[in-house]
Structures are given as structure tokens and as C-alpha cells.
Amino acid sequence: MKILVTGAKGQLGQEISRQMDADQQLILTDIDNLDITNQDKVRSVFQEVKPQAVIHCAAYTNVDGAEQDFDGAYKVNVIGSQNLASQCLEHHARMVYISTDYVFDGQGTRPYREFDPTNPLSVYGKTKLYGENIIREILGRHYIVRTSWLYGDGHNFVRTMLRLAKEKKQLRVVSDQIGSPTNSKDLVWAIRQLLLTDAYGVYHGSGNGACSWYEFAVKIFAFAGVNIAVEPITTGEYLLPATRPAYSVMENYMLKMAQGDPFRLWEEALEDYLCDLNS
């Protein structure tokens, strides 16, 4: 299968390039060679490479920056996704769209399933949901995969904590936002399996189990053998421009129904990641 990957330099894109089978022909693109907001450029690339599938990782992911840049976030997350979906329809290609737990408002008391109501609180969450909706409208052959607290090869919470531990004697980490850390390895495995099926629709793809950012940080340092004091604080003590959902744990319900859940417990996946990081 010939697969076009957007956002190939990001942590998920890099993991895709490492994990995909030898019989998959990957066309790796990023902003330097494919501006997804440019309709003519997208059309030209599709005409040239004629992909059978697209894994759409490219996104405007600056959650706080988006609060002051709605147009920029909308252009990438909605218009860019629309351009790709339109070309997928024209070229009979299927599409994987990577979305987010931030499409939910965090007021739930149990893990969100794929068919639970959405209600994003931030510009980032809203534009990612608009991207989902426009893909649904244009393209029947879609897999919308919502993930959360992703880490891999690139800028992420795990690496930030390890870096800060070298610079500071004590860290303060939010303890009242609950979610599910996700190893990019597990997410790519799920994407690979979905692409082998015609089971189109919306999926949740995140690590199993749940924790707060504070608990996540404590576990990172425990597995890494780093001795540092970590103080739990509330969201109110760490004010940021964008509102985050207080509880954004997702259940991989549709994956379980379609093919089985490939995601490990978040602690197990984190320990594996840190072992790889140190090897």
C-alpha cells in the first residue's frame, strides 16, 4: 500500500516511519514539502504520488497559542484536513485522521466512548473537532483516531520532565487533570491494524488506565531513577490561556469491538519508552 504521511517530522510521524512494514511504501511529508493549507499544492502532490491511504498527523498543536490564533489553528486543522479529504475522495484513498481527547469537556465521571457527546473547551479542541466533522462529511473511508497525552521521539511531557529535573531541585505539577498517557508505538500499531480493515469510523486510541499529570511525573522519575521533589498543585495555581478538560480519559471501545485493544497499561508502556530512551 502506498501511504502518504503528513506531519512526518513529528513524534507520531517519526514512529510511523520506523514501524511500518517493508511492503508499505511511505511518502513522508511535512510543512517544508507539503503545505496542507494550500489546495493547489495538495492536489499536485496527490496527482504525482497517487496514494492509496493518508495518515494525517499534521496539526496546529500549540494549545495555548491557538487561543490567540484562531485563524491559524482553523487553517491547519480544518482547511488543511478538508483539502486532504477532498483529494482522498477524488483518488479513492482512505484516510487516518489523528484527533484528540480535547474534543471533550472533561465533565464526565467515566472514560469517554467514541459515541459520547463532544464539547471542546479550547480553540485547539474546537478546530480538531471541526476537522473530524469535515472529514466525515467529505469522505466515507475514514478512520478518526482520538489519542491523548502522546509521547514518542520529539517534544513531549516525558522529555520535558527529565530535562527540568536536571535544571531544578523541585517541580510543581498539576494533580487535578486526569488522562491517559499514550506511547506512540502503541498508537502506530493500532493504525497499522486499522488500515488493513474496512472498519471505518471514529476510534479512541490511548494508553489503558488513568493518572494525573502529577502521578505521571512521579512515575517518570521513579522509572528513570531520578530523585527529585514533586509537589502536586491545582489547575488554578498554574494558569494557562487555554482551558483543559479535567477528566479526559477515553475507553478504546470501538478498537476492542473491531480488532482487540493493542494499547498497554500506561505504566508498562512508559517503562518501555524510558528503557528505549536510555539504550
Q: For residue 20, which of 85, 81, 96 has the smallest C-alpha distance?
A: 96
Of residues 220, 242, 240, 245, the one with CA closest to residue 230: 220
Query: How many whole angstroms separate alpha carbon 121 and alpha carbon 178?
Result: 15
Residue type for position 136: R
Which long-range contacts does 84-87 make (Cβ < 8 Å, 24+ apart)? 84/6, 84/36, 84/42, 84/54, 84/56, 85/134, 85/135, 85/138, 85/139, 85/142, 86/138, 87/42, 87/43, 87/46
Catalytic residue list contains 200: no
Q: Which of 124, 130, 143, 151 is catalytic?
A: 124
Cα-Cα-Cα-Cα dihedral sign, residues 96, 100, 101, 105: negative
Nearest-angstrom CA–CA distance, 96 and 200: 9
Q: For residue 14, give the nearest of 76, 63, 57 by alpha carbon.
A: 57
Which residues belong to the active site? Answer: 124
